[in-house]
Structure formats: structure tokens, C-alpha cells
A and B are shown apart, each in its own frame.
Chain A
Amino acid sequence: MSAITPLYNALLVARLQLHRSLRRALDQPRTLLLQVGFFVAVWVYVVFAGSQMPGVEGATGTTGELDPTELRNGVRGGIVVLWLFNVATALKGTPTHASQVPGGGFLLRSADIRPTLWGTMLAEYARRLALYGLFAITAVVTLLWGLGLPTRDPLVMFSFLLLFLTAELTGMTLRLGVAASGFRLGAVGRVIVGGVGIVVVSFALGYPNATLTVLSQIPVANFAEAFLSGIPAVTPDRTALVWTIVVSTATIPFIAILIERLAQRTWFSGDQRPAPGTNRTQVGQWLESLGVEGPARAVAWRLWLQSRRKPMVLGLLGVPLLIVGLAVVDPEGSHFALFPLSMGLYAVWMTGFVLTLNPLSSEGGTLPHLLTANGDEIVTGYALTAAVIGLPVTVATIVAGGLLIGPPSLILPGMVVCIAVFLGTVPTGIAFGLILPRLEAVPIETDGPLTPGKFAMAGHGLAVAVLAAPAVIALYGTQTFVPEWVAIVGVTLTLLCSLAAGVLSRRSAARQLDSLMLD
């Protein structure tokens, strides 16, 4: 085997993976369109609204308010956010066992570990550059040109490529390092980590300037100095940039060797996870004591078990409550109208996202019910689980929002509206999930339902918004000049529309379930 063979094989692996990625993307034109649309929207925003950003406005010299520090921190922090996002993506996508490598039985026997590892990484790197990189660099360059600030720094492209490469390698190292250490988070640990993660992200979103300033201190932010070149009143720190490039470039071979060693150690060690527990639960008996029996109870019980196995997903239900908590710490972020009602409606949407929006996602769990229960019973099972888990969270969110942030007068109407919309949108969510299911190949290690499809999520969000609209508009109006009876009409309208939507969606979902055929 010549020295050139691993390189040839790595390039062949990369070509193979890119070939597959392209086919997958073209097979899902709606998703591709959505992704492209998202990036175009970001691009348009950056180009047309970006010049209104604080700091940028000042930097152009078009106004008297020059704030180069804020601009600098923003660009540096933004680069770190992009880097962290790519680290997280790489971390999630790195296989920790040979069986997780797509077609591993073929690739690892034909091309061995080094070409497989680096070929796959190269393909992923190229895919990510194509997906995010081209849009991001177009946006940055267009923004700067639009402001009359062409970036002349020859290190721009180099910094850009290194930014993505270091993110990819860092993500791989972290994932393989944790796998090699044998460290595993239990269910409680995952909930804690997920909770801390949600708090950190919520905090970061609530305090963007402070977050960007903190992130701008991380050495990776030095890559941003390449993009700051040519902006008036901003002097890029070229020494820091050059040092970061030199250190990154010099470190990459060592990280690559470390990754290879870690992969060699973890990929061929076999799956060492302990056998799953028996998942004893009292929910089945509890539902029985409530008089819920037969297939509906079985559906609810199964859904509960699956939710328990995905504690982080279930933890998403707590996000609205968490936002209320953060608003208590920082009341600045909650000074918008109808805060308790808005948070309650967010909890309603989240319940649908977590529990009802993809009823066909898990064949192993769904198929037995499809064969033994009718559609009505299955919908009842889903609605029961959503009610048992989601309603208390929704009510608690409204009460906490009303008492802690206010106004307390919104608690009662907020509860009426949210419970009505809840009753209406749980069956609507199931119906959307049946019309727009996400039926992709379920990885063998996935022990639970798949995340719902984007279009089902959007449809469900639209249903929540439309049903809540009469009450929200009327309640908002009564805070200004509209008489109180309008609010009663609005809430009543939401109540009636929600109940009607619930009944119709329930029938539609049950009919769809009854008419399902295996093909």
C-alpha cells in the first residue's frame, strides 16, 4: 500500500459522503428551500437592517455616535457564537462506535480508520462551509461593502476556513474524549445539564450585549480581527490575529493525532452501555384509578415511558417557566403586554412540540397501538398524556407570570384562554403530525420519538396563534381604550373556536389513524 493510498481513500470517502449529502438534500426540496430561505432572510436582514445596528451606525461615521468598542465586541462575540454552534454540531455528529459510522462495515474494511475518519470529516466540513460559510461570508462582505468598508485583509478567507476547521476538530475531540473516558450521564444528570444549558442560553438571549462582550474575550474571537480591517475608528489587533492563526495551525496536527487515537480507542471497543432498566412506573395504575382503561391508557402509558427516557425533551416543557423566572431576576426583559398570557400560550405550543406533534415517529411504539386500538382511542391517549403533563405546566406558568411579573388580573382570563387553546390545539397538533409526519430512518440507538417536522411545528404554531388571536387582541385592547365587554367577546370567541377546532381535529386525526395503511 503506497503512501498516497490513505489520501486517495480519504478523498474517495469525502466524495462518497458529499454525494450522499447532495442526494439527501435534493430528495427533500421543502427542507432545502426552508434552509435556503432562512439564510436568505438572515442575509437580507444583515444587509438592509445591519447598518442600523448600534456601533455599525457609528462606525460608518454617518452619525456622531461612534462606538467602536461595541462594534468590535459584537463582531468578536458573534464569531465565537458561530464557532460554538459548529462545535456543538460536530460534537453531535461524531460517531463514538464503528457501528455509528455510516456504512462502517464497508468503509472501515475498505479504507480503514484514518481515511474514513478524515474523509467523513472533510465532507462534513465542506458541507458546513457550503451551508453556513458561503452565506455568512457573503453577508459579512456585503455588509461591509454596503457600508463602504471593503475588507482588504488577505487573512479573511484563511481565518474563515480555520474558524470552521478548529470548531470541527474541537467538537470531535470533546465527543471522542468523553466517550473514551467512559463517562456517562444518567437521566438525572442529563436533566441537570439540560437545565443549566437552557438557563445559560436564555440568559445569553436576554443579555445579548453582555454575552457578546464576555464571548469576545475567548481567544477564538481573535479570528474576528480579520473582518474588522478597514472599519474607521476600529484598529484590528493584527498581532492577536496572526498569533491565533499560527497557534491554531500549529496545534491542528496534534489535535488530529489525538482524534485518531481516541477514535481508534473508542470505535472498536464495542457498545459498553449497561442494559436499560425496566422502567417501572405507576402511571399505568394511576390512569386506571382515574377510570382510563383499555387502548387509550396503553397509548398514554407508552408515551409517558418514552418521555421519561428523553428527560431533556421533557425538560423543554419547563422553558416557559424558566423565562418567567429570568424575568423576575431582570424585569427589563418582561415589560411587554400580556406577559402571563404570552408565556402560557408558549407553554401550550411547547406541549404540542414535545408530546403530540409526531405521533408516527416511533414505529416500535406506535405500531402495536395502530393494530389494536382505533383512532379515537389513540388520540385520547395522546390528549391524556398532554393534559396530565402539559396542563399543570401551562397553569403554573400563567400563575407564576401573573403573580411575579403581573398583571395579576390576567391570571384568570389567561387561564381560560390557555386551557381553551390547549384543548383545541392538542388534537390539532396530532392532526398536523399525521399530515406532516417526520418519517426518517430512526437510528438504532434512538430510544424514543423523533423531533417533529419543521412544517408540522410551524402549522401547530399557526393554530395556537390563530385560535388565541381574538382573546389576545381583545385583552390587549382593554388595556388601552376598548371597553371590557370586548374582552369577554374575544375570550368567548377563542373558547368557542378552540373547542370547535379541537372536536374537528380530533375527528380528523382519528380518521387519519383509522385509514393508515402499511406500505
Chain B
Amino acid sequence: MTTAIETRGLTKQLGDVLAVDDLDLSISSGTVYGFVGPNGAGKTTTIRMLVGLLSPDAGTALVDGTAASNRKELTDTVGYLPAEAPLYDELTGREQLQYAAQFRRLDDGDRVEHALERYDLVDAADRRVSGYSTGMRRKLGLAQATLHDPPILILDEPLNGLDPGATRTVRELVNEVSDDGTTVMISSHDLATVESICDQVGIVSDGRLVADASPESLSASVAEDADLEAAVIELTDQ
């Protein structure tokens, strides 16, 4: 199995804070990888370095064998949804996706309509994004991130503030794309969902990877009847 995402000694200082400290990470292709840890642990900073929006102070980050900073090469390879979906309030949902399609030279007719249907946004497609709920914004952000069917999908806190229906949509999406062989890296505090959809989980604390195994192994490492939540609390000294 090839490696989709790999970091070696990744380090980043932000102001007075050492946000990521000598992080080694390896995610195999086709894996659904959960990236969890307490607030301020360095998850978002790591993800930003993986998508080339932040340059590391030290170490390397490779995505699909290419340096993560080479955004141009990775445009078609990676789909990325940050915690705050990068949408324009002034546009409608359909216009937002049409722009995304044009940047990627996709046939913006069928592709956009298909994405709107897939994420149940057809009825809201011609409304301004500014009027969307949190869940709708997240779904539109997901539609934008997956519009070009990227082989690697990086989702930063995609479940935050979602209702059960929207959470299920995200879960189904992850299951669906992973069945097609897409590598998914998902950071989240919703540990129950992470436990249910991820093949492997990395726990990060104070910028360092403190554990990296399957959810079952991590739970079992703490106690026989423990779940992932107990493992995260135990391993991050919360």
C-alpha cells in the first residue's frame, strides 16, 4: 500500500507558541484517518501545512509524493475543507460551485448540478450563501472540496456545529468516497463519529503525535471496555 500523506519532523512556531513539534505522520492510500486531540494541539496548523497554506519552519510534508508546498501540482490531487468553509457570502450556492468548477476546468453544468443534488442543496442553490445555516455552509463547502473527485480529501473539523442529519451526510460521504479508494484525513472532536468511520486514528497533543493506531487498538490500550474518547483523554493528559 502506498503512502498518501507523510510528514517527517514537521515543526511550526506561531508567535510565542510551538504549534507543531517534530511531527511524524504516515497515512496510507485509501485510509480514512482520524486526526484528533484537544483544542490548540496543532491539528489545524498541521493540516494547513499539508495543504500548502502554511510553510513549515522545519521538516517535510509530502502529499501523494509531492512537497505539500507545491500547491500547483496538488490542485487536482487534494480536496480541502477548512473549519470555516471558504465561501463567498455575496454569491449563491450554485455560483460558488460554478466558480470552483471553472477554476478546475470541469464541465460546470452537470458536475455542479450533481453536487447540489448529492448534498441536498438543490432547493437552496439560487439563494445567497449569506443566508445559509451552518450545516448548509458545511455541505456546500464539502461539495466544493469534492467537486473534482480528488484522490485525497482533507477535512478540518467538518462536523462542528452540525445537526444529526448533516452529520450523517458527512459520514455517508466519507464512507462513499473511501469505498472509491479516496484517502480521507479528518480532524474532529466528534470522537464517536471518528471511531465509527476511521480505519486509523492519530492523537496529537502539544504539537506532537502521541498515538497512532486503529480506534479499537487505541481504546483497548487504555482499558478493556474503553472507547476512543477515554483513550484520547488518557493519552493527552486532559
- Please tell me if B51 contacts chain A, counting CB pairs below 8 Å: yes
Is the C-beta of A406 less than 8 angstroms from some C-beta in chain B?
no
User: Would A110 and B75 count as touching, CB distance under 8 A?
Assistant: yes
- State A24–B71 Cα separation when bound (angstroms): 30
Query: Could you mark each residue 327-342 of chain A with 1 if its beta carbon is under 8 Å from any beta carbon of chain B, else 0?
Result: 0000000000000000
Q: A20-B90, A112-B75, A275-B15 are in contact. Are A12 and B53 (CB under 8 A)?
A: no
B144 near A106 with CB under 8 A, answer yes
- Determine whether the beta carbon of B100 is less than 8 Å from that of A274: no
**Complex CA–CA separation, A12 to B106 (angstroms):** 14
Q: Which residues of A1-41 have CB atoms within 8 Å of chain B's CB atoms?
A: 1, 9, 12, 16, 19-20, 23-24, 27
Docked pose: A20 CA to B100 CA in angstroms: 15
Query: With a CB–CB cut-off of 8 A, which chain A residues contact B12?
Result: 270
Contact A103 B16 (CB under 8 A): no
A272 beta carbon closer than 8 Å to chain B: yes
**Residue from A109, A270, A275 in contact with B52 in the complex, judged by beta carbons closer than 8 Å:** A109
Inter-subunit contact B14/A16 (CB<8 Å): no
Cα separation A271 to B84 with both chains bound (whole Å): 17
Complex CA–CA separation, A107 to B80 (angstroms): 11
Q: Is the CB of A270 within 8 A of B75?
A: no
Interface size class of A (residues with CB under 8 A): 20 to 34
A273 touches B15 (CB 8 A): yes
Collect the chain A residues with CB atoms within 8 Å of residue B48's CB.
270
Per the 8 Å Cβ criterion, residues 173-187 of A in contact with B are none
Residues of B within 8 A of A106 (CB): 86-87, 100, 144
- B15-54 contacts to A, CB under 8 A, are 15-17, 19, 45, 48, 51-54
Contact B51 A274 (CB under 8 A): no
Cα distance A516–B111 in the bound complex, in angstroms: 44
Task: Mark interface residues in A449-473 (1 if CB within 8 Å of B CB, else 0).
Answer: 0000000000000000000000000
Name A114's closest neighbour in chain B (CB-CB): B72
State the CA gap A247–B82 with chains docked (Å).
Answer: 44
Contact with B along A101-124 (1 / 0, CB 8 A): 011111111111100000000000
CB distance from A111 to the nearest CB of B (A): 6
A218 to B90, alpha carbons, bound, how many Å? 41
Tell me if A69 counts as interface (CB < 8 A to partner B).
no
Cβ contact of B55, chosen from A12, A108, A268, cutoff 8 A:
A268
0/1 per residue, B88-117, Cβ < 8 Å to A? Answer: 111100010001101110000000000000
| Assembled-state Cα–Cα distance A58/B75 (Å) | 63
Q: List 25 A-B contacts (CB under 8 A).
A: A16-B88, A20-B88, A20-B91, A27-B90, A98-B53, A98-B54, A102-B88, A103-B87, A104-B86, A105-B53, A105-B80, A107-B86, A108-B52, A109-B53, A109-B78, A110-B75, A112-B71, A112-B72, A113-B71, A268-B52, A269-B54, A270-B48, A270-B55, A272-B15, A274-B15
Told that A110-B75, A268-B52 touch, could you supply 10 new A-B pairs with CB distance under 8 A?
A16-B88, A19-B91, A20-B91, A23-B91, A104-B53, A108-B52, A110-B104, A268-B55, A274-B16, A275-B17
Q: Nearest 8 A-B pairs (CB), nearest first?
A: A106-B86, A105-B86, A110-B103, A23-B90, A20-B90, A268-B55, A103-B86, A105-B82
Interface residues of A (CB under 8 A from B): 1, 9, 12, 16, 19-20, 23-24, 27, 98, 102-113, 268-275, 441
